[in-house]
Amino acid sequence: MQSPDRLSHAGIRFMPRPKLSPKQLARLKSTFRAADCTVRDLEGANFEIFHAEMPLRSHVLVNPYYLQLGTMLTARPMNRRDKKASAIHAYLSKINKEANLAKFVLNREEFDSKEGGWSIFASVRFVTGKIGGNFEAAALRNMVTIWFYDLANVMAAPEPFELCALLEESALPPSARR
């Protein structure tokens, strides 16, 4: 018999990723709806939300341990010199200091010429300390409110970057649609 530290990794089986039950998932979506969010189902247990007052689409990743809101942004420089990595890092530092809840990180280390900007991932995790996905409605409502507040403030701020995001076009006023 081999000692445990010499066992082959081939014999190790990975545990399946824990998931919420359909009942827990339905309760969570209902809680988002009560927080004035529209819920759109994606594949499997994945879904996205957007708020009645801010039609920014946010992906919801949920498991029994935590809930994460996330959205992709593109930071388009207003000046040519801001295409340098040092400029985007300084900008991320600034907006992370100003944000109450959201965390902004560079999604890719290089400037995306096709998109005309830097790819940024904004996210927040809500951990209750209890397994099972029991998120209190008031706490979830507060988190969603602060999440969208953070994103709105960053997107409305002036130079040096213009932030672009995936908006829910059906929730935009007709004058704002493309």
Joined together, the tokens standing for residue 26 give 């339905």
Q: What is the pLDDT of residue 97?
A: 94
Give 105-111 contacts, CB < 8 A, sequence gap 24+. Answer: 107/72, 109/85, 111/83, 111/85
Residue 91 lies in a domain: yes
Q: What is the pLDDT of residue 16?
A: 65
Distance, CA of 160 to CA of 87 (rounded, Å): 9
Residue 135 lies in a domain: yes
pLDDT tens for 95-110 read 999 999 999 999 888 8
Q: What is the pLDDT of residue 45?
A: 80
In the three-class reduction of DSSP (H, G, I as helix; E, B as strand; rest coil), residue 45 is classed as: coil
Residue 24 lies in a domain: yes
Q: What domain range includes position 29?
A: 17-176
Residue 10 lies in a domain: no
Residue 93 lies in a domain: yes
Q: What is the pLDDT of residue 100?
A: 94
pLDDT bracket for residue 19 (50, 70, 90): confident
Q: What is the CATH number of the domain that holds 112?
A: 3.30.1460.10
Q: What is the pLDDT of residue 7?
A: 44
Asked if residue 165 lies in contact with residue 71, where contact means CB atoms within 8 angstroms, the answer is: yes
pLDDT tens for 25-60 read 998 999 999 888 999 998 878 899 988 788 889 999
Residue 5 has pLDDT above 70, yes or no: no
Residue 112 lies in a domain: yes
pLDDT tens for 122-176 read 999 998 777 777 788 898 899 999 999 999 999 888 778 988 886 665 644 555 4
Residue 27 lies in a domain: yes
Structural domains counted in the chain = 1
Residue 3 lies in a domain: no
pTM (predicted TM-score): 0.80
